[in-house]
Structure 1
């Protein structure tokens, strides 16, 4: 997904943003792409209300909380100086946001505005339409003690993201380990004060059983995860369609074979008829030849008065 962010009045698009992408990753990518150095912060703006986002905040998750008002929410990246003040001042909120779930954001915004230094009771800065935001914990950069112009160039983005993924995976493993060890954190002395020894033994037995169930659940998820990723229902549908096609082609082939057999039988019958006719014709020809020979022999044996040709031969 693409996320649009305003930087110095220009709109930048960051692609590949997911629900797990944090503000620190987006800021690092934009700073690396624009070759900028320094400390930056992301501002969430809804109409005239602005809120400074923490490095671990997720912009897409924030947009999802706005629901139908997410189209009016914009993000802005601003530079932060050494005193943790934004170099480019933003406008003062003039009206509270409409969504009811933003009440916590209103309280945080009010706490930020009350902690601003140098605000007079008459609200002169409010009339000027200017304010600064409160400080948030920032990253511990390697060259933070050096001057801004002497800071080393940022590390490679790919290497940084690989280290980030390794740290996140290690954090997930630690969380899973903590979830399994949560049952061991109960103070035995407190249990001994409120439970009998038999109840403590039963509680520990239930605790061990639950731990084993959690381990089994983890193993089942590890087995089922690749099966779910393989998308077997879709594979089954594809194989079913392929089998239907093969059955249709097999039926067509069988029909063609039967038709060929019928044609072959018809040709064989025609061949037999032709052979019989040829045999009959040969018999007829042989009969005609025999009759001609018989007639010739009869002519040769006839009397002289009736045959002129033999008389001519004797003369």
Structure 2
């Protein structure tokens, strides 16, 4: 399963327990107690969506644009924590590239420190893997005791919330190799999980690498098996949206008829015109709304509603 950082606060320990109970792997399906008790909950579920922190052991490490990464990530976390204090989130997802380049142990120690304000507020934080992460070192750094039982050794999870299902995928092929891939076993898992999702219940699929159109003369840097993913989505239309990182840019487009939501980096953009920040997702009976939070940027407050 993707790594779960439990809350550091006791006041929402029940939420963390529910999130862990709601994560499933093949042969083990469970729904959270809160979902069973509050299946018709009128209050929308709020999710904090983060991506690409690229945390570095060196607190003074800078991005290619010269920004101090730890300072940028800390500012994004502070803004997210302030939004949580205003209107609480149920959980957070960091959608890959948790580490700077090659997923060193110190990178993950730095990330844990930077994410502490969220966990201190009682938020469970799920971490998926990107191309700059190292599967074994990441697992060791966060001392995740759960067995690795995902398809073909990948870390996947089904997380149930009151108003939505989160399906967390693992597109890491090899550390510090740019493109990603899901593979047949993981795609079969995804198809089965979508088939098991009740009609009308939003299903959000998370993966680090997005399907990207090929560029002439440029080595592929997105999802290599995007055609196979498209086939799964065409046969299982339960997916409400695909959510990805990797591009360091807030974006909205369609893939195989499914809305594709790109998350901004927590740390730095590839293009100076792009935002740095986080996305708040709100799932309820009317669908799912994604809203960009990028203080000081022209696109701050931009929103995409699905359903």
- Report the TM-score range of the alignment, normalised by the length of the smaller protein: under 0.3
Larger Rg: 1
More helix by share: 1
More strand by share: 2
Q: How high is the TM-score relative to the length of structure 1?
A: 0.21
Q: How high is the TM-score relative to the length of structure 2?
A: 0.22
